Amino acid sequence: MQHDDASLVILVLNGDTDAFGRLYDKYARLIRAICYGTTGDVGQAQDLAQEVFLRAYQKLPGLKSPDRFAPWLVAMAKNVCREYCRKQARDRHILVGLEPEEKPQQQPRQQDQRLDALNIAIEQLPEKEKLALRTYYLQDQDINAAMKIMGMSRSSFYRLLERARKNVEMLMDQEIRKVDRDIQEG
């Protein structure tokens, strides 16, 4: 039998860590993807995601509506990412006395050029479109799960997803053209 999030949250609150493991299985990939948008590095995104889940576990008793665990977790991930950015900026400032740098350039590690370009294109999307796309594909293309996390109606979510996909295709075209140009210029 499949437990919903509210039941799993209640089990966790009663000391069942396996239930927390199941929530982790459900949402860890999405949280890593959100963190990747900030760090641009998979390893660092994994570390940040761990921090998000640890914090979620500690703050779980304060969650008002257990059935809204996923949006709550996503909001927490965004907070952790903001704190990470602030800390990075502060550390750079202290260490070299310079103004904070821009977000580091993405360093995709996947070998396939097409997938590299696709990931770079996704990262260039506006935040909401990026989150919609990531949520949909990291929830195994389950539209109901994704729209619940985003707190949107089905039609609004479809519209947003469609717009995100179109924009990704456009951005990816630009990215591929750029790579071709770089190759031609040697």
Partner 1 sequence: MATKISDKDFAACHAMFDRDHGRLRAELLDSLPDAPGENTFFRTNAIGTRLRRIGILIGAAAAVMIALGLLNIFAPLDNSPMDSIVAPVASVVTPQAAWAEAVQRAGQVSSMHMIMTTPSTGGENSSVELWWRVPHDFRMEFSTGLVMTGNRQRRCTVNPERNLLTIFDATGPGLEMAVLGEVGMMFASPYSLSRQWLEDAEVVSAEDTFYRGEQCRRITVQRDNGRYEYIIDKNTNMIYQGIRYSGVESDRVLCSMEVIAVDQELSDALFSVEATEEMQVNDRRLNLPDWQ
* DSSP class of 15: T
Closest separation in Å from C-beta 109 to partner 1: 7
Nearest CB to partner 1, comparing residues 92 and 137: 137
The per-residue b/e assignment along 51-83, b for 16 or more CB within 10 angstroms, e otherwise, is: bbbeebeeebeebeebebbbebbbebbbebbee
Binding site for partner 1 (CB under 8 A): 1-4, 6-7, 10-17, 20-21, 24-25, 28-30, 32-33, 36, 42, 45-46, 49-50, 53-54, 57-68, 109-110, 112, 114-115, 118-119, 122, 133-134, 137-138, 141, 143-144, 147, 151, 153-154, 165-166, 168-170, 172-173, 176
Closest separation in Å from C-beta 60 to partner 1: 4
The residue type at 127: E
Nearest CB to partner 1, comparing residues 6 and 92: 6
H/E run at residue 61:
none
Torsion angle defined by CA atoms of residues 114, 117, 119 and 123, in that order, rounded to the nearest 10 degrees: -160
Closest separation in Å from C-beta 10 to partner 1: 6
Residue 121's nearest CA partner among 173, 70, 172, 53 is: 172
Place of tokens 């761990």: 50
Nearest CB to partner 1, comparing residues 12 and 160: 12
Nearest CB to partner 1, comparing residues 14 and 184: 14
